[in-house]
Homo-oligomer: A and B are copies of this chain.
Amino acid sequence: MSEKRMLFVLREVEPWNMPDDIYRLNPSGSLPIFVYDGNVIAGNYAISEYLEETDKENKLMPEDPKARAEIRRLIEWFDTKFYNEVYKNIVAEKVQKRFGKGEAPDSRILKVGFNNLNYHMEYIDWLCERNNFLVDTGFSTADLAAAAHLSIVDYLGDVPWDSYKNAKLWYSKIKSRPSFKELLKDTIKGILPAKHYTNLDF
C-alpha cells in the first residue's frame, strides 16, 4: 500500500489470539484483511490483485501477460512453498508455538527449516544474479512477497546472508525503499529483532 502511495491505518492482531470480529470481516478467519469505505477485501491474493487493478499510477506488475505469470508463479512459490518449508518450521516454531501454546521450539523441526531455507536462498540468489530483482522486468509484487516472507525470518536472525551475495544485494535494495523502511520499525512484542535487522548495511 505504501508502494502505491496510499494512506492507511494498521490494526494489530495476534494470529495466535484472533479476535471474533475478524470472522465477520473474513469468514476464513485469516489475515490480511483490507477495509475501506465499508468494503472488505480479504486475503493476500484478492488484496494484491485488487490494489493492482484499481491503481493506474504506481504499477507493480508490467502489462505483458507472460511477465505477469512469472511474477504470480513466484508469489505462489513464497506464499505456499516457502511458507510450508521455511515459515512453518522456523517462525511458527519459534513465535506462534511460544505465544500460542507457551511451548519451546523443537530443534529437529528448526533444523529442517534451516536446511530448507538454504535451498530457498540459493534459488533467490540465482534469480537475483540474472535479473537484479526476482524477475527480469524489474521491481514487482514478487519482490514484495519474497521480502515480506524473508524479513520475519531475518527478524529472528536466521537468514545466512553472507553465503548469498546476490540475494543480500537484492534485499539491501528492498530494505532501502521508503515502504520497507517503515515496515522494519514494526516489532513482535516480547522478541527483540536481530541486531542487523533494520540496518541497510548488514
Interface residues of A, Cβ cutoff 8 Å to B: 26-28, 30, 39, 41-47, 49-50, 53-54, 65-66, 68-70, 72-73, 75-77, 80-81, 123
7 CB < 8 A contacts A-B: A28-B76, A28-B81, A39-B66, A43-B73, A43-B76, A46-B70, A49-B72
A199 to chain B, nearest CB (A): 31
7 additional A-B residue pairs with CB within 8 Å, beyond A28-B76, A45-B45, A49-B69: A41-B69, A45-B75, A45-B76, A49-B49, A49-B72, A50-B72, A54-B65
Q: Is A68's CB under 8 angstroms from B53's CB?
A: yes
**Contacts A43-B76, A76-B44, A76-B45 given: A50-B69 contact, CB under 8 Å?**
yes
Chain B min CB distance to A78 (Å)? 10
* Protomer copies: 2
Residues in chain B near residue A44, CB distance under 8 A: 76
Nearest B residue to A26 via CB reads: B73
Residues of B within 8 A of A65 (CB): 50, 53-54
When distances are taken between beta carbons in the complex, the residues of chain B under 8 Å from A66 are 39, 41, 50
Chain B residue nearest to A47 in the complex (CB): B69
In the bound complex, residues from chain B placing their C-beta under 8 Å from that of A68 are: 46, 49-50, 53
Interchain CA distance A46-B71 in the complex, whole Å: 8
CB pair A46–B28 under 8 Å, yes or no, is no
Residues of B within 8 A of A75 (CB): 45
Q: Is the CB of B46 within 8 A of A69?
A: yes
**Contacting A73 at CB < 8 Å: which of B46, B76, B77, B123?**
B46
